[in-house]
Amino acid sequence: MRGSGPGDVVRIFNTDSAVLEAQDVRKDLPCSVTPVKPTLGFDLRFHGGYEVTIPLNDLAGSEDMLTMLFRVTPQGHKDEPVYFSQRLSVPAIEEDAKGNAYLQGGFDLGEGNYHVDFLMRDRAERVCSFYWDAQAELPLKDKQLVLMMAPGTVQAGQEPFKDEPPVERPETEGPLNVKVIVNFAPQNANSATLQPLDTNALISILRSIAREPRIRRFSIVAFNMQEQRIVYRQEDTDQINFPALGDALSSLNLGTVDLKRLSQKHGETEFLTGLLTEEVSNKDHPDAVIFAGPKVMLDDSLPQESLNQLATVDFPVFYMNFNLNPQANPWRDAIGNAVKHLKGYEYTISRPRDLWYAWSEIMSRIVKARGTKLTTDPGPL
């Protein structure tokens, strides 16, 4: 999807402009357009868009090209529309083809009201056009949330692993240093794929941490419970490398079963025990360790002896448990039990506002714990 942001060019033919201005619903190219209502994502941006259905037999014949063009206009700013375009190659299709082709597109919004004009045409200049209004609005109970886009603004959807812009971090004594341990896994432990919603929510948690100006150093450990392996590691850095993390996560192959893992009766428990023992210790001198990810339900409890060894840590531990349906599984998981044993804090992240509130409280606790530590530690004599 291409937008009219810096460096992006959307070429509009006079015929396309005439269709958009006419505001008529056309189906020379038979289609059904369903607007996607703007919803707030965990990245604190509203996501809107559309879904298009076209009968395959209406695309029958030799290879074709579908061009989709749409514009989003903020209410009260009719002279400031934002244009997007998308081109899709269509292979040769049999005349008696059954079923439908499904297409979709999206864009990000700030709070406000918008008008969307959409058209799609093929090489024969057959046109499908549609128009709708969209509203992006926070409910009253969420009005205190600080969104990532200003009201009345429109942008192309972000790539999930795009680099984070540099954060201006004030020069302070004793900058905060945190370790983040993330289980990149689907909500359903038996799923063969990591769903976009799962990935985007976990990345949004990481971005919330990366944008915190009071934190100067990060250590990141990304693992996958199903494959029982650490996927990515980044030690003691001042900026999280999101593109490298994305490349590493592409190596996940959740649809296959490793015979070696099958032969290990207590493999998952042993892996998690080893991970906790290695990563949650005083050797790195973090100001906090933060776990994030979906629930990890194990058949066996973590060894009490190992949990007791962890209890010597002198920093707060937090768990941001990403759980879209907490009522379906209200029981504490293995990581939650470990965090409880360490007298840590667990937060259930089901909606965007949960993430906002949880991170605000976590930062408050980290700063308070760091202040207490500096007050009680006399330092070297």
The whole-angstrom separation of Cα 292 and Cα 217 is 18
Which CATH number covers residue 34? 2.60.40.10
Count CA within 13 A, CB hemisphere, residue 236: 4
| Residue 181 sits in the same domain as residue 318 | yes
**pLDDT (tens digit per residue) in 187-228:** 887 787 888 889 999 999 999 999 999 999 999 999 999 889
| Residue 120 sits in the same domain as residue 220 | no
Decide which of 128, 156, 184 is a domain's last residue: 156
User: Is the CB of residue 29 less than 8 Å from the CB of residue 58?
Assistant: yes
Sheet with 112-121, strands from edge to edge, namely 2-3, 82-90, 64-74, 112-121, 127-136, 26-27
User: Per the domain annotation, does 167 fall within a domain?
Assistant: no
| Residue 361 sits in the same domain as residue 226 | yes
User: Per the domain annotation, does 161 fall within a domain?
Assistant: no
User: Per the domain annotation, does 30 fall within a domain?
Assistant: yes
User: Per the domain annotation, does 381 fall within a domain?
Assistant: no
Sequence-distant (≥ 6) Cβ neighbours of residue 165 within 8 angstroms: none
Task: Give me the number of domains the chain comprises.
Answer: 2
| Residue 142 sits in the same domain as residue 98 | yes
Q: Which residues of the chain have pLDDT under 50?
A: 1-7, 378, 380-381
The whole-angstrom separation of Cα 232 and Cα 246 is 9
Q: Which domain holds residue 242?
A: 176-375
| Residue 283 sits in the same domain as residue 315 | yes
The whole-angstrom separation of Cα 257 and Cα 192 is 10
Q: What is the pLDDT of residue 312?
A: 80
Torsion over CA of 197, 199, 200 and 202, rounded to 10 degrees? 120
| Residue 180 sits in the same domain as residue 132 | no
The whole-angstrom separation of Cα 52 and Cα 102 is 6
Q: What is the pLDDT of residue 5?
A: 39
Q: What is the pLDDT of residue 311?
A: 79
Q: What is the pLDDT of residue 230?
A: 95
| Residue 130 sits in the same domain as residue 182 | no
pTM, two decimals, is 0.85
Q: Among all chains, which residue has been given the structure tokens 């406000």?
A: 112
User: Per the domain annotation, does 249 fall within a domain?
Assistant: yes
User: Per the domain annotation, does 350 fall within a domain?
Assistant: yes
Pairing relation of β-strands 112-121 and 64-74?
Answer: antiparallel
Q: What is the pLDDT of residue 380?
A: 45
| Residue 104 sits in the same domain as residue 209 | no
Alpha carbon distances (Å) from 54 to 59, 166, 253: 8, 43, 33
| Residue 143 sits in the same domain as residue 274 | no
Which CATH number covers residue 198? 3.40.50
The whole-angstrom separation of Cα 112 and Cα 279 is 44
| Residue 65 sits in the same domain as residue 24 | yes
Q: What is the pLDDT of residue 329?
A: 86
**pLDDT (tens digit per residue) in 308-348:** 888 788 899 999 999 999 998 889 999 999 999 999 999 99
The DSSP bridge partners found for residue 155 are 108
| Residue 206 sits in the same domain as residue 100 | no
User: Per the domain annotation, does 168 fall within a domain?
Assistant: no
User: Per the domain annotation, does 273 fall within a domain?
Assistant: yes
| Residue 223 sits in the same domain as residue 131 | no
